[in-house]
Structure 1
């Protein structure tokens, strides 16, 4: 059973229906800006990870959907929005991380750090070969994020063998639209979502387009990370947190 404590925070798997309900409540607050429950048909088949402050307050959560290999990727959340046929050839265990969110009143970087530490322990324990999911930009207008998208186009597009293709009806084809744009590095860094920034630091890659999700009021890109490609120094740092 996953339990990881660092300083003021503990990461653990949800153990009861009340734990899952708490995660759904935090998700609704983060994604929709008001109290409620964000629930869908993927919740019953996922493992939910909670990050709590000392005293039990929930400050972060995400869910994990394990797959035996790429041949099962069609049942992932991401497959609703992206054509992932190329990834069906991936022959190692995979895990989809989804619905990642931090309480809007909490900005401590240690929260993200322990979340990644817990994820690292899970990946190592389960022999995962690839981590993937949807990384979200707040809002459905691309204009505030053009430099971030240009940076993704310039250096972080998926390898051709795993290329995610268009499936959703509304997309922003940033690789095509921003082919001539030189990204402003500072603006790109300021507008890149923290979760996606962490993926990229570890060697992650993205789709060449963003999906417009009107329901959750986000733009998101498919994001993949081959565990074996993580730089050695970064892997050691993550395992120090996970240990």
Structure 2
């Protein structure tokens, strides 16, 4: 299926659904067994995704939220209203769609970000300069990726990637970026992995991005002869390791996020850099899991 057909189906399906006042099955971006991925359709689904984020980021990772958000059991910020929310749902769970959300990703498109003052990760990294350097390209920011513990499997991750890939094709995205996080606020605890990233994956030239000067933390913490690639990859969070396998680069410098109890690096993934085997796996038209069962 071509990109044009994907766009036509999404538009016609959603228009028809809106006219009937009901959601459309045509907005489903992928399905594997009882799991499916799509964009949130209602405010209630976004609220449920924020509850999943609370369980992962606050209860599990000890992020800090306001007293009101803690009372409600939601992880929320002002960017949520600007973003589309990619969901993974387990259709075998009894209840409404809100009860079936097991994973989520937050997607912010270029034109929306520019119209509202920039990208979320611009508070940590010089992404505005990156975007300005590529006036002919369309960017998309990925953020707030989380999956409930019992669903942290290959199938769930594949569906998240399937959803991001289909969404990027639909919106003709040229490059994706977003923060990838290591647990804790001591970069030195991740010296091996951070040093490997700095020495092997830092973006250069037209894709170079630095952490903001007042937040910059050194990544190159070990001499290259002491960095074992296998051990470094093993020590890396699965999401960051997955980005690298796709063909991603990282920005120069890490940032400590005290509120989220993480050490962040910027991931940069031009669509043209995505490894051919992954494009073939998910499908150049994002059709790999479009109707899998």
**TM-score with structure 2 length normalisation?**
0.76
Partner of 2:280: 236
Q: Does 1:23 align with 2:49?
A: yes
Query: Hey, what's the Cα distance between the residues in 2 that align with 1:201 and 1:123?
Result: 18
3-state SS, counterpart of residue 242 of structure 2:
helix
Give, in whole Å, the separation in 2 of the partners of 1:168 and 1:74.
Answer: 20
| 8 Å Cα contact 1:139/1:219 also seen in 2 | yes
Contact persistence 1:150–1:181 (CA under 8 A): no
Q: 1:93 aligns to what?
A: 138
TM-score of the pair, normalised by structure 1: 0.91
Q: Does 1:113 align with 2:158?
A: yes
Could you say which residue in structure 2 is the equivalent of 1:7?
33
Q: 1:62–1:98: 8 Å Cα contact kept in structure 2?
A: yes
Shift of 1:201: 0.9
Corresponding residue pairs, total: 242
**2:251 maps to which residue?**
207
Instruction: Give the equivalent residue in structure 1 for 2:76.
Output: 39
1:185 is matched with which residue? 229
Question: Within 5 A, what are the aligned runs for 1:55-94?
Answer: 55=93, 56=97, 57-68=100-111, 75-84=118-127, 85-90=129-134, 91-94=136-139
The structure that has the greater radius of gyration is 2
For the structure 1 residues 178 and 72, does the alpha-carbon distance in structure 2 shift closer, same or farther, using more than 3 Å as the test? farther
More strand by share: 1
Aligned-pair CA distance for 1:187:
2.7
Contact 1:121 1:242 survives alignment (8 Å): no
**226-235 or 68-77, larger mean C-alpha shift:** 68-77
194, 197, 203: which one pairs with 1:158? 203
Any unmatched runs of 5+ in structure 1? none
